[in-house]
Homo-oligomer: A and B are copies of this chain.
Amino acid sequence: MHRFVSAAGRAAGRVPASLRGPIVHKAGEIEKELRKGIKKPFTEVIKANIGDAHAMGQRPITFLRQVVALCTYPNLLDSPSFPEDAKKRARRILQGCGGNSLGAYTASQGINCIREDVASYIERRDGGVPADPDNIYLTTGASDGITSILKILVSGGGKSRTGVMIPIPQYPLYSAVISELDAIQVNYYLDEENCWSLDVNELRRSLNEAKAYCNPKVLCIINPGNPTGQVQSRKCIEDVIHFAWEEKLFLLADEVYQDNVYSEGCQFHSFKKVLYEMGPEYSNNVELASFHSTSKGYMGECGYRGGYMEVLNLHPDIKGQLVKLLSVRLCPPVSGQAAMDIVVNPPVPGEESYSQFIKEKESVLNNLAKKAKLAEDMFNKVPGVHCNPLQGALYAFPRIFIPSKAIEEAKAHKMAPDMFYCMKLLEETGICVVPGSGFGQREGTYHFRMTILPQIDKLKILMEKMKDFHIKFLEKYA
């Protein structure tokens, strides 16, 4: 029964197979072979392909899990082994749930008291800039928020098809959703020579070219960058906001790595905060949606699929449509909403769990900072590899030199040269990383993305292996 082959929907046919594509498939096969006892030059596959902290051995934040466990099984509220501050939060979350149960549907926009906590968090983070719980939408991870808002903004056909500007390199959710929605992907390139910074002249070039074939309406920014790890300066954010204001673009600020900033002199500035500080002409006019998640930061709770989106200057009609759209899927997972609450409402000084919480949080972040530096330094010692500083996020995105003989062989295998490189790396070392072609890169340049999540000793060994592999690769294809 082959008749549905031709019926493949708009969506699936064009989904880029990067983060979970052929490399990950191959990694799975190799793992099966290892389990069967087949000999390899390595004993385990190291999955440095995806920002999945717990899978790489990071421990959950105790307080977060205590609160979610209390919400899950409220009998535990009587247990002396749980701290009072965790119980207090659990009781508050349960009071916000129908029938005091995580098993009830919530409002499509999310539980009221959690949206209030998100708003307070944003106000604290942004030095008092006001945040309105009505503008907060809890989501099923950040991906869901990004997808939903793009669904509302995308329209038109032919030359009036909506253009969505995204950075190159980008996180492939963007290209996938843009393709799924039949919108037009408009690329702007980050400047690798300048530490992957964003240049407004490049935004302008990209926009002006795009106007010839579509209707560019949305500008997506990822800060700190994924896969590129840069942290945008305040000045750069101002420039982007001014540009969006001038060109009447809707800004999507993907800020899921806001807690992951490592380089000295770098600091996270939210688009929302800078927008307000630029004055009412901007803060009353520029449309903005920003995103956060439970999956990254120091908590790494990917599996909970928790997240939120804050919108600003969204027209009430559009807001109404957004609520309707969200209501079809009923509500985001409630335990994910609870997890999000703890991210924005963690223990404070004076509370019983504060010291343990801070210890756990700082331990994760300090380790990540060390590993960011380690990865940069070690990559830059390898001939034919150049790696920008990992100012933030969870990834190294080094540029690799691939000899022309290897490029030819890749072509013979109908593979992108960096896919060929990463496949060889996987087969010879067990290290699984994602080729740059999955994220987009300037023609003729090659990269891969590697997470810095492996534990530090493992990361060192992994990088030594990569170095040896690379040198051998250069020799082989010299």
Q: Which of B108, B250, B335 interacts with A20 by CB under 8 Å?
A: B108
Given contacts A60-B101, A65-B72, A324-B17, contact A151 B4 (CB under 8 A): no
B143 and A328 contacting across the interface, CB-CB below 8 Å? yes
Q: Are A318 and B5 in contact (CB under 8 A)?
A: yes
A52 to B173, CA, bound (A): 32
Contacts of A7 in B (CB 8 A): 153-156, 162, 217
Q: Which residues of B contact A140 (CB under 8 A)?
A: 140, 305, 329, 333
Q: Within the assembled complex, what's the spacing in Å between the Cα atoms of A153 and B6?
A: 9
Contact B143 A329 (CB under 8 A): yes
Bound: A10/B315 CA distance, A: 17
Tell me the complex Cα distance, A72–B105, Å: 20
Contact of A302 among B4, B58, B104, B322 (CB under 8 A): B104
A28 (CB) vs chain B CBs: closest residue: B107
A332 interfacial contact with B, CB 8 Å: yes
Are A52 and B98 touching (Cβ within 8 A)? Answer: yes
A8 at the interface (CB under 8 A from B): yes
Chain B residue nearest to A58 in the complex (CB): B99
Q: A60 contacts which of B103, B302, B303 (Cβ < 8 Å)?
A: B103
Q: Which of A60, A76, A335 has the most CB of B within 10 A?
A: A335
B315 contacts A5, CB within 8 Å?
yes
A12 to B181, CA, bound (A): 13
Q: Mark A140-172, 1 if CB is under 8 A from B, else 0.
A: 110110010001111110000010000000001
Task: Please tell me if A402 contacts chain B, counting CB pairs below 8 Å.
Answer: no
Q: Please, how many angstroms separate the alpha-carbon atoms of A19 and B323 in the complex? A: 13
A220 interface contact, C-beta 8 A:
no
- B residues near A104, Cβ cutoff 8 Å: 52-55, 302-303
A87 to chain B, nearest CB (A): 13
Say if the beta carbon of A423 comes within 8 Å of chain B: no
Which residues from B are CB-within-8-Å of A438? none
Asked, given contacts A285-B1, A330-B143, whether A152 binds B12 with beta carbons under 8 Å apart, the answer is yes
Known A-B contacts A8-B155, A15-B324; the reply to A301 vs B1 at CB < 8 A is: no
Residues of A that sit less than 8 Å from B by CB: 1-13, 15, 17, 19-20, 50, 52-58, 60, 65-66, 68-69, 72-73, 76, 79, 81, 97-99, 101-106, 108, 140-141, 143-144, 147, 151-156, 162, 172-173, 176-177, 180-181, 217, 248, 250, 285, 287, 299-305, 313, 315, 317-318, 321-322, 324-325, 327-336
